[in-house]
Structure 1
Amino acid sequence: MKDYYVYILANGRNGTLYTGVTNDIQRRVSEHREEIDKGFTSRYGVKHLVWYEVHSEALTAIQREKNLKHWSRAWKIALIEEANPAWHDLYPGLF
């Protein structure tokens, strides 16, 4: 059984946000942090994993990501702060 992750990265508290989906959160966040892909996250220094959730089905995770991308910034910040009020980087805790 494979897990799928919806995640939000930030470049700091209340900073620029990026929402994504993956089946390997450790690898994908590592790619963002190492700027493997020269895109949005590398351009804005978005490297801190501040929120994520796990899904057992790919389609559910993809739909959740699409929904979150349509949420207002205030709603995303509230979601992050509900689970991670200090905006700690959750990446080191994945191991």
Structure 2
Amino acid sequence: MSDGWHLYLLRCIDGSLYAGITTDVERRFREHASGRGAKYTRAHPPECVLGSRAYPDRASATRAEHALKRQPRACKLAWLLADAGADPSPAC
């Protein structure tokens, strides 16, 4: 999974969700799991990658991440089930 940029969604061991962007989802998950990831995942270790979506460049991945992080949990989970071209903005 290292083609372009990806927006990914993790489920943490406490049931919370974490969204981020990377060029390599598997590597980034390992970083989060080992405590070298984001501050949030150091306090809430990740359990698994729920899903990811590819974006053509960092700017579009960052915009999608920002939009997804503003959504309630139900919308984040719906984003996983939506078509790959779906925008994570308020369609929920």
Instruction: Tell me the TM-score normalised to structure 1 length.
Output: 0.72
Of structures 1 and 2, the one with the larger relative CO (CA 8 A, separation 6+) is 1
Query: How far apart are the structure 2 equivalents of 1:38 and 1:62?
Result: 15
Q: Which 5+ residue runs of structure 2 have no aligned equivalent? A: 83-92
Aligned partner of 2:40: which letter? F
CA offset digits 1:45-72 (Å, max 9, x no partner): 2231001001111111110001101111
Identity rate, percent? 28
CA offset digits 1:16-52 (Å, max 9, x no partner): 0001011222221110111124721121122310010
Range 33-42 or range 68-77, more displaced: 33-42
Query: How far apart are the structure 2 equivalents of 1:77 and 1:61?
Result: 18
The 3-state SS of whatever aligns with 1:27 is helix
Aligned partner of 1:71: which letter? Q
Is the Cα–Cα contact under 8 Å of residues 8 and 50 in structure 1 kept in the other structure?
Answer: yes
Q: Give yes or no for the alignment of 1:5 onto 2:6.
A: yes
The structure richer in helix per residue is 1
C-alpha displacement of 1:15 = 1.5
Relative to structure 1, the CA distance from residue 75 to residue 42 in structure 2 (aligned partners, 3 Å threshold; closer, same or farther) is: same
Query: How far apart are the structure 2 equivalents of 1:8 and 1:45?
Result: 13
Q: Which 5+ residue runs of structure 1 have no aligned equivalent? A: 84-95
Aligned partner of 2:32: which letter? H
Aligned partner of 2:74: which letter? A
Q: Give yes or no for the alignment of 1:64 onto 2:54.
A: no
Pairing of 1:52-91 with structure 2 (within 5 A): 52-80=52-80, 82=81
What is the root-mean-square deviation in Å for CA atoms of aligned residues?
2.1
Is the Cα–Cα contact under 8 Å of residues 32 and 38 in structure 2 kept in the other structure?
Answer: no
